[in-house]
Structure 1
Amino acid sequence: MALPLPSRDDLRALLEWQLAMGVDVALEEAPQDRFAADAARAQRAAQPAPQAAPQAPQRAPAVVSPAALLATPDESVSAAREAAASAATLDELRQILEGFEGCALKATASRTVFADGAPGARLMLVGEAPGREEDLSGLPFVGRSGQLLDRMLAAIGLDRGSVYIANVIPWRPPGNRTPTPQETETCLPFIRRQIELCDPEILVALGGAAAQSLFRARDGILKLRGKWLDYDVAGRPAKAMATLHPAYLLRSPAQKKLAWRDLKAIRRALEGAAPPG
């Protein structure tokens, strides 16, 4: 005699009982050894994870020639002066820098950060050295400091298309450390030649380090800033000034009032020194 089929209520009651007893896996037609499955999972977890294939470096590191490594500091500076003086145009100077091996910073940098803006602009701005963002992009002042610099220029009606921007040192120091005096002296002939070839009417050093290098000054930036100096550009005096670096202003926003005074002085100088018609 066939047994009667369970009702819907009977099936619901059976399911609720199973859930109450902790049943969380549906039964299958073929039996499975759950203990064996657990042992296999434990064995797989104990095995070391496969090693990921090493990623290829983005670029081959630059190699400094043995002659450059053995050169004395005076020889490195002399080589830089000779190389910089041989450049007749800004493009030639860029190419010379790309091939120069007398500064060890080039071996650790991703690329040479030469300049941005308009060659031959009336206003030239010079910082100290590139940071991480600049090293990656190949352009000066593109990080947070560069964004603030753009706003500073816009406040006096200028932009990157109307100025020329460079650094004393064209290669990023490792970890954004401060360049050594020797590194600065080796790179100085290049930025001086870059200034000569750009031939600006007004030269602005951004920050104390750039001002001390370009103007051979010893005072700190708070004493140097806002004062007009004469800077020799291939025998012609150009107006020069030091102002606060945008990175300093990001750390000390209260000092923006001083930078604003400098910016207004630069704007007045540009308006009073119209280019020859």
Structure 2
Amino acid sequence: METRPAPEISYDAALAAFEWLIELGATDPVGDAPVNRYDLVTPEPAPAPPPQAETRAPRPAPVLAPVETVDPVAVARGLAARAATLDDLREAILGFDHCPLKRGARNTVFCDGNPKARVMLIGEAPGKDEDAQGKPFVGRAGQLLDRMLAAVGLDRAAPDPGTAVYITNVMPWRPPGNREPEPAEIAMMGPFLARHVELVDPDLIVLMGNTACAAALNSRGITRLRGSWTQAFGRPALPTLHPANLLRTPINKRLVWADLLELRAKLNAL
């Protein structure tokens, strides 16, 4: 585009134009020299960027070895399968370090009674007294259990397999605060319990409480299950209330008494 020079005007014309601007309010000059707005403005070149420091290539991220995950149920299954005797099974449980309950327990509670007994009782988990002594059912609930068994001619200390009982728990370690064992804890100890039943080889099993039913029957709801024979580990099994339940609710003793009479009748029929 061709730039034309501004036309020359006379003094009087310039003065008249200046007075007209003042009347319009343009009283504050912005520069000492007049500006021709028709001139093209040449943009100033952009400043050159500052020199960049020498950059190094980023270090490659370290390659982490994959974290090996352990399936505690598979470990327990392998250990239990290699146990040829009850002593082997006890040692296998003592060497099993994947159950968090073990770290807070004083003792591993394995069993009590006659391993040749026709009846195997399976409870839930040790309490305070059991954890201290390392035997199942030695506290108030255990003392009540002994009296109830004696009423139908059974005794954990009897040398005769026909009148003896063998006792164990689903969990060999006491849960903190006597809480119920969690499903994952029951599952990881399941292979040990199944092998325990195989080695003892009882004629009848008594499942005491919800945890025992969850481990042996994969079912809960002891008030619904109790009193009816079922199958657990390939053997006849009778669910019943845990003795601790009877200490809290004495009226339920009549229910367990009926279950013990059913157990006695089944033993007599075999």
| Aligned amino acid, residue 243 of structure 1 | T
Between the aligned partners of 2:211 and 2:188, the Cα distance in structure 1 is 15
2:254 maps to which of 254, 257, 260: 257
2:181 maps to which of 155, 179, 182: 179
Percent identity over the alignment is 54
State whether structure 2 residue 112 is matched by structure 1 residue 110: no
- Count of residue pairs brought into register by the alignment: 198
Correspondences of 1:228-267 after superposition (within 5 Å): 228-232=229-233, 237-267=234-264
Change (3 A) 1:71 1:94: farther
Correspondences of 1:54-133 after superposition (within 5 Å): 72=69, 75-133=71-129
1:192 maps to which of 188, 194, 203: 194
**If the length of structure 1 is used for normalisation, what is the TM-score?**
0.69
| Aligned amino acid, residue 77 of structure 1 | V
Between the aligned partners of 1:227 and 1:71, the Cα distance in structure 2 is 44
| Aligned amino acid, residue 198 of structure 1 | V
Kindly state the Cα deviation for residue 79 of structure 1 after the two structures are TM-superposed: 0.3
Between the aligned partners of 2:176 and 2:124, the Cα distance in structure 1 is 14
Kindly state the Cα deviation for residue 71 of structure 1 after the two structures are TM-superposed: 6.9
Between the aligned partners of 2:102 and 2:231, the Cα distance in structure 1 is 32
CA deviations over 1:185-239 (Å, ceiling 9, x no partner): 1111111110111100000100122112211114x1111001111223xxxx421
CA contact (8 A) 2:170 2:211 kept: no
- Alignment partner, residue 228 of structure 2: 227
- Secondary structure of the residue aligned to 1:160 is coil
- Alignment partner, residue 63 of structure 1: none
Correspondences of 1:38-49 after superposition (within 5 Å): none
| Aligned amino acid, residue 241 of structure 2 | L
Rg larger in 1 or in 2?
2
Please identify, of 136-145 and 206-215, the stretch whose mean Cα deviation from structure 2 is larger: 206-215
2:140 maps to which of 144, 157, 162: 144
Between the aligned partners of 2:231 and 2:96, the Cα distance in structure 1 is 30
What's the C-alpha RMSD, in Å, of the aligned pairs? 1.3
State whether structure 2 residue 267 is matched by structure 1 residue 270: yes
- Secondary structure of the residue aligned to 2:138 is coil
- Of Structure 1 and Structure 2, the greater helix share is in 1
**If the length of structure 2 is used for normalisation, what is the TM-score?**
0.71
1:215 maps to which of 202, 214, 217: 217
- Secondary structure of the residue aligned to 2:103 is helix
- Alignment partner, residue 55 of structure 2: none
Runs of at least 5 residues in structure 2 that lack an aligned partner in the other structure? 1-66, 158-163
Between the aligned partners of 1:209 and 1:100, the Cα distance in structure 2 is 20
- Secondary structure of the residue aligned to 1:80 is helix
After TM superposition, what 4+ stretches of structure 1 lie above 3 angstroms from structure 2?
Answer: none
Between the aligned partners of 2:139 and 2:156, the Cα distance in structure 1 is 14
